[in-house]
Amino acid sequence: MQNSHQRLQGRTVLVSGASGGFGERFSRICAAQGANVVLGARRMDRLESLAGELREAGAGACAVPLDVQDENSVIAAYDRAEREFGAVDSVIANAGIEGAGSSTRLSVEDFDGVYAVNVRGVFLVAREAARRMRKADISRRGRILLISSITARIAIPGLMPYSVSKAAVSHMTRLLAREWAAHGPNVNALSPGYIETDLNTDWFASEGGKRQLAEFPRERLADIHALDEPVIFLLSDAAEFTTGADFVIDDGQSL
């Protein structure tokens, strides 16, 4: 699968939340660009299937159980990745869950659940990556990409815990980038807009979804392929001078 034009050749990328949606897409494009890919999530059956598919195509891939809320699980995932491919030099902290509904009816347990995955989980994955990169003396070429959302910067009713958690991720990006700037790794964020996936197809086919779609400047959903190039760039050697940035890819939806 590797050739001289693959921009992630020689890298090992760990992707959290790799069993579907964005995480699956990111894993595929990293593998296509020559990286070894470590697929992390809780749904091991899906991960094993994807890893097998990538290996058949000639990529290096392995599936690891990963619950980002659990520090021990995060550590174990990196241990397995290192046994398989050596030090991880690139990370996509993608795992996240939604928390929708009225704020006045939201339980403390549901609020804490969103934060445990979307904020603590992102922090644990990023921190462990930075520790391992420093130990392996590869921090300068290290790349950590945190997945945020345009909901971090706009007010959408019914998405309070999710939106607030993503705002925390966007600012975490800046804080970690500044703290680690002297020695690396580079830390950046990607903030996608509304992109058609299996999770939202039914909603945007409904009357409420159609009304929301009509409010977007271009009255359409973004295409998941729009994220490919930013992800590849931010994990590549070409992003040497890019850290602390938050790339908004939303087809103008947040304007």
> Distance between terminal CA atoms of the chain?
40
Please, which pLDDT band fits residue 3 given cuts at 50, 70 and 90?
A: low
What percent of the chain shows pLDDT beyond 70? 98
How do residues 23-37 score in pLDDT, each as one tens digit? 999 999 999 999 999
Residue in the block written with tokens 């994990």: 235
Count how many residues are written for the chain: 255
Tell me if 142 sits within 8 A of 242, measured CB to CB: no
Using CA atoms, how far apart are residues 175 and 178, in angstroms rounded to an integer?
5
Q: What mean pLDDT comes out for the span 151-176?
A: 94
- Assign residue 103 the CATH number of its domain: 3.40.50.720
Is 252 part of a structural domain of the chain? no
Using CA atoms, how far apart are residues 191 and 151, in angstroms rounded to an integer?
8
Is 255 part of a structural domain of the chain? no
Any idea which of 17-21, 51-55, 200-204, 208-212 has the lowest mean pLDDT? Answer: 200-204
Contacts of 185 (CB under 8 A, 6+ apart): 89, 129, 130, 133, 139, 140, 141, 142, 143, 144
- pLDDT at residue 26, as a whole number: 98
Is 4 part of a structural domain of the chain? no
Is 155 part of a structural domain of the chain? yes
> Average pLDDT of the chain?
94
Q: Which domain holds residue 75?
A: 12-247
- pLDDT at residue 214, as a whole number: 95
Residue 254 pLDDT greater than 50, yes or no:
yes
Please, which pLDDT band fits residue 46 given cuts at 50, 70 and 90?
A: very high
How do residues 165-201 score in pLDDT, each as one tens digit? 999 999 999 999 999 999 989 999 999 999 987 768 8
Annotated catalytic, 78?
A: no
Any idea which of 81-85, 136-140, 157-161 has the lowest mean pLDDT? Answer: 157-161
Is 3 part of a structural domain of the chain? no
- pLDDT at residue 156, as a whole number: 84
What is the total count of domains within the chain? 1
How do residues 108-146 score in pLDDT, each as one tens digit? 999 999 999 999 999 999 999 999 999 999 999 999 999
Is 7 part of a structural domain of the chain? no
Residue 1 pLDDT greater than 50, yes or no:
no
Q: What mean pLDDT comes out for the span 226-240?
A: 97
